[in-house]
Structure 1
Amino acid sequence: MPHVTSTDVARHAGVSQSAVSRVFTPGASVSPAMAEKVRKAADELGYRPNNLARSLITGKSRIIGLVVAYLDNQFYPDAIERLSRALQDRGYHILMFMVSNETEAVDSVMEDLLAYRVDGLVMASVDVSNRLAARCDEIDIPVVLFNRGQSDERLSSVTSANVAGGRKVAAHLVACGHKKIAHISGWQGASTGRDRARGFAEGLAAAGHSLFGQIDGLYTREGAEEAAYSLFGGADRPDAVFVGNDHMAFAVMDVLRYELGLRVPDDVSVVGYDDTPLASWAAYDLTTVRQPVNRMVEATVETLIARIEQGDKAPRRVEIGGDLIKRGSCRENPKD
């Protein structure tokens, strides 16, 4: 079957080739009647637009590269699905790469993505080396860090208000009457883990409390389980624990209840961070800080589009506050 071109579609529809091009260019101005006429002709001929050819002409691929460190945390599959849909609504598609958090691995994947002539990059909980940040800046490829902050002034970032979130948890646990309050933090190599821990410690200090203990759970199930055994395995144990994200909090609750024989929340209150769908399930009923994923995705897309389509090169640092969602894993009147 011969290859059908936009010229063939234009001839079949009785319109100009430029009209066909506008119909298949996201965001281009075209009347509904013209769009219907052209698409009908394209369907009859079996025409599909050649996006690669268009990218060579326009210099735009309409592809956004997405680099993700891990998908074990239930927050990310949900966020990535929403991000993909939001970008598709704007005429873009996602090319996703999985990577470990080591700098060399991230740099290698970013080099691959740049070879695909992506229009922008979203780094989900992944840091960018200074060398790659400089290169992206030089070739005018915008980079937005999603759920991760970084000090490099060339990079935009979108996060929840992590320090404020940590303070909210501290204030809540103190107000509930807890005395021995511990923290199983997120990975301290990540801004989210550090900021939540800092806010939590500051919140406790402001209320005249100090941490019973803090262990880095590394944002992994295994790290959280080990931390739970360490903090709660002895006779002198916390009466409440703030866990750096829901993914770890679920692991901590499983250890407390099924391995150590402790009751949640009667013996110990547990608070997480993210408000993933599983947090509301009856099996966990987890009190947690909600990451406003819809608003975070919207801010990420708007930041990218402003740079790609409007030439707004000023980096943006967006922090979006989230509510503390109170559920049954936190007891409000603990026993002495």
Structure 2
Amino acid sequence: MVEHRMVEVNGVRLHIAEQGEGPLVVLLHGFPESWHSWHRQFGPLTAAGYRVVAPDQRGYGSSDHPDDVGAYSILHLVGDVVALIAALGEKQAYVVGHDWGAPVAWHTALLRPDLVLGVAGLSVPPPFRGTRPPLAAMEQRFGGRFYWNYFNRPGIADAEFGKDVRTTLRKFLYSASGSAPYSGEIKQPLVRAGQGWLADMPDPEVLPEWLTEDDLDALTESFSRGFTGALNWYRNLDRNWELTAPWHGAVVTRPALYLYGDRDAVPAFPGTPELIARLPALMPGLTRPPVELAGCGHWTQQERPDEVNAALVAFLRACA
């Protein structure tokens, strides 16, 4: 049975869900999600002999939502994982992340390899710091229409997404999934001027099989305090680029696994397909070539739980 409690890390209280006994596996969600996005992983991972913990990361769900935008830098987020491992009475852990949780997992392995037994990322590949701040680069490339730049404008996306939370989340989840209509081409996530980001997203009359009304209830409740804390992660993208300058050129050396869907827009971001193709040569710790899930969209572990669970269990056992 999954149990819930609050844990204090670095002066911030995090809500965690936990189950099982054995080596610790920390599951880190992305945007716009919560610990619940991993609920299909708890049973298989605990049955395989692992202690599974999934927090609501800072700015999400029942965890604290600091007011300061600067409190959401990658160093704060990695610090939360480091402190969480210690607060759980462990010295090391496997760290798994999806979407924004993946950069947190990758950077935890990069900055604190002594704590990480193995690291897995879903959707977002390992970090290789570019030569320019990412927000500035996307601003120039897409004329300010890229969704990162839209999210970076204080109060704008917050208001749009908070107007009807359930509809916002339903549109997000469906439109970025492999269940949405697919033309064979993945388009860059751009925002039309004056239209907001939700305007072009389809709203399904019937939810796909992998997403239930109960799932949507849980996620809607987790955003009852709004989207600002979650959006503040994006508002630190250029700051993260500055803060990680000492690790420019560094690579994750711990045992690693990367999975992504072939209909996910993130692996199709400018320059990312080329990076994914080079990962086996760039990362000595990659235990197998990147795993591409056919017909899968962005919500990897929710859309394809059986395949993801099998890959994670095999990876964790191979790391032992």
Same fold (TM over 0.5): no
Could you tell me the TM-score, scaled by structure 2's length?
0.27
Could you tell me the TM-score, scaled by structure 1's length?
0.26
Pick the structure with greater CA Rg. 1
